[in-house]
Amino acid sequence: MTVSPHTPFTATVLGLPRVGPNRELKRATESYWSGEVDAGQLHAVARDLRAAQYAQLLAAGLDSVPVGTFSYYDQMLDAAALLGALPERVAHITDPLDRYFTAARGDDTVEPLEMTKWFDTNYHYLVPEIGPHTVFSLHPANLLEQVAEARALDVPARPVVIGPVTFLKLAKAEDGAPLDRLAELVPLYRELLRLLAAAGVSWVQLDEPVLVTDLTAEEIELTRGVYTELSESADRPALLVATYFGTPGAALPALAATGVEGIALDACGDLSVVAGVPALAKKLLVAGVVDGRNVWRTDLDHALTILATLLGSAASIAVSSSCSLLHVPYTLAAETQLDPALRSWLAFGAEKLAEIRLLATAMTSGTEAIAAELARARAAAQSRRADPRLSDEQVRARLRALGPDAITRAPADQRRVLQAERLRLPILPTTTIGSYPQTPAIRLARAALRKGEIDEAEYDSRMRAEIAEVIALQENLGIDVLVHGEPERNDMVQYFAEQLDGFATIEQGWVQSYGTRCVRPPILFGDVTRRAPMTVDWITYAQGLTDKPVKGMLTGPVTILAWSFVRDDQPLADSAAQVALAIRDETVDLQNAGIRVIQVDEPALRELLPLRAADQPAYLDWSVRAFRLATCGVSDSTQIHTHLCYSEFGEVIDAIAGLDADVTSIEAARSHMEVLDDLDAAGFRLGVGPGVYDIHSPRVPSVEEITAALRAALKAVPAERLWVNPDCGLKTRGPAEVEASLRNMVTAAHTLR
């Protein structure tokens, strides 16, 4: 075995964001899709973004730079393209870039890959499909090009590739277990390592976050075998196997027993497993002591203590982020509007790079070399602990006083009778999930308000006009339960965060959710209270335009937490209860204003599920309690809906039932109604609206396609409990395709009636 010459590095990150600090890649990609720019112009934007990022990392003092974490859409899709595992249905597309995007988004004739959550984050990945006819083959040109590009800029490049175990474990197999195909992948990874060594690379990072989940003894042994074989490859670089989102547990000693030169660990959690792995003493340990998933300033003293305890466990230590910086905004510099005290408590991507360099300096030169920075960090921590906004005794006392009746309603069968009498809906009622397209007119009005070009009264007038159009459209289409379209909402979480005490919002802190979809997660920093009703005026205005029921639209407490950066100084359950209490007050106000149907969305219910089975019951208990606290303040004749999307629902079926929502709309289009079998097997007896078409694709589904989906749904759900709806909100779609799709959906429902 010949390993490329290498030296241990001291400071790095495990991965990088790619949309650009001002969403440059989003705009360029969407312009490519619309035909406004060509592939060469798109690639030029990507090259410029990568070059700027490399320069930033070098200036920050990192001595090993991840390369290949850039993606036009998704890293798992990139891995599928690298390994020749794109689905057969896109094979006819000759242009590689268009083939790639079609696999991600679909088109008029091609269905896209299924999409689901990346472990317990708000990032969505595309699920590779491994079928009996899948023949793996290596296609390394894109990665090699990025490596050559980085080396030409004198960047100490460390290529990053999804590891074979994680790739197959997260894939979807048509028959058998995906890991049965490991033996086919190992030769491709060996060849890739040879090519990277020939390109002058000294380290390669293989990402294996699946090792922090519950694996069987057989899966751990398979992992050991794979990395034993890869580490015995000839002419390869040194191997860094990166685990993150938790600690690898029993997989760590198996991995350490192989010949890989480095292992990256998430050092923000429990590291007791490290002490029992003597084989680490011969390896580089990349310690992720800087949290890559949250925005709180690192406690440098605590991080140094962790690093000191690890010193005797490994041959050398490098300081790193706990995971990719994909999950945090680029820089705090743009957030000049933030309260100065709060701002001093925070660290975004650029600030985390500085923390990593500081900690690496302290490791090599002693804490005296960073004494001033340590003093500033300690002062910020003290400021945060003493801030009165972190503890509101009034809301805490209210929560303590709640009894068991606060989270209960009458049995579902009794509620169903009362709601049927009040709503008088047809069988297979049609509805939509909430949002309608955010048109250019809406965006221009919001920008004009922000710039002071129009006042609040003019903005409200324009939004009411948009609502009137959406109500008229739905009535014209024949939809049964209407929504107001949410034109006044910039984001389903940020909208509420702006109206709740205890939250702060950010201006430029964009984070990728999937593809070109970016969000600005608010910051939950203190105790949460509702200042005033948040949605009542908008919903009652919409209800006044129609005799049909209009849904009150709210975001649930778990999703508000999941899609925010949440305080780390108290349990998540406590923060969830505070948010739930605020949402509860809003549901009561909506009901008292005459609203008969209220939807409290929880698309992130599965997202926060802990990765280890032992930790899941406690989470499911408090998350269900939070939802019920938010929704059980209304009368039994008020119909409560919820919405869940893009997750592996089988793991939380009992919790979905425990929410006790009268109607649950759920993503089912890309997974071809698979979730309904899980619901049926679990004895689910509440109303359900499986998504009958995928809104994340630009294609318009036919009447026949939707009818077939509904017929499949009727095999698991009786008609009297089945609702008809798209699988998510329509915010990102164009008005013409929305109208055509909904018209077909209503026609399909009428056909089956």
Q: At what angle do helices 141-152 and 182-198 cross, to 10 degrees?
A: 30
CA-closest candidate to residue 484, choices 423, 427, 442: 442
Grouping H, G, I as helix, E, B as strand and the rest as coil, residue 148 is helix
Query: In angstroms, what CA-CA distances link 105 with 31, 119, 126, 313, 515?
Result: 15, 21, 10, 46, 9
Dihedrals φ, ψ of 238, to 5°? -65, 145
Q: Tokens for 559?
A: 């999703």
Tell me which residue has tokens 């960073």. 370
Distance, CA of 576 to CA of 407 (rounded, Å): 14
- Paired sense of beta strands 500-504 and 523-530, if any: antiparallel
**Which residue carries 């033996």 as its tokens?**
183
Q: Are 237 and 204 in contact (CB under 8 A)?
A: yes
State the Rg of the chain over Cα: 26
Place of tokens 């399909």: 748
Cα–chain-centroid distance for residue 569?
23
How far, in Å, are 136, 668, 686, 726, 753 from residue 709 at the CA level? 32, 9, 19, 11, 14
Beta-strand relationship, 316-321 and 284-290: parallel
696 catalytic residue (yes or no): yes
The active-site residue, picked from 124, 139, 696, 750, is 696
Cα dist. 111→305, 699, 701, 720, 724 in Å?
51, 9, 10, 30, 20
Dump the DSSP string for 154-220: T--EEEEEE-HHHHHHHSEESSS-GGGGHHHHHHHHHHHHHHHHHTT-SEEEEE-GGGGS---HHHH
Dist CA 751 CA 744 (whole Å): 10
Distance CA 562, CA 333 (A): 24
Q: Give Cα 712 distance to the centre of its chain.
A: 29
Instruction: Answer positive or negative: Cα dihedral of 573, 579, 582, 588.
Output: negative
CB 581 within 8 A of CB 573: no
Tell me which residue has tokens 């605590």. 302
Taking the C-alpha atoms of residue 576 and residue 602, their distance in angstroms, rounded to an integer, is 12
Bridge partners (DSSP) listed for residue 597: 551, 639
The strand pairing partners of 85, in sequence order, are none
Residue 81 has which token pair? 């393209």
Q: What is the biggest distance separating any 2 CA atoms in the chain, rounded to whole angstroms? A: 77
Q: Residue 110: CA atoms inside 13 Å, Cβ hemisphere, count?
A: 20
In angstroms, the CA 484 to CA 535 distance is 11
Which residues have a catalytic role annotated?
696
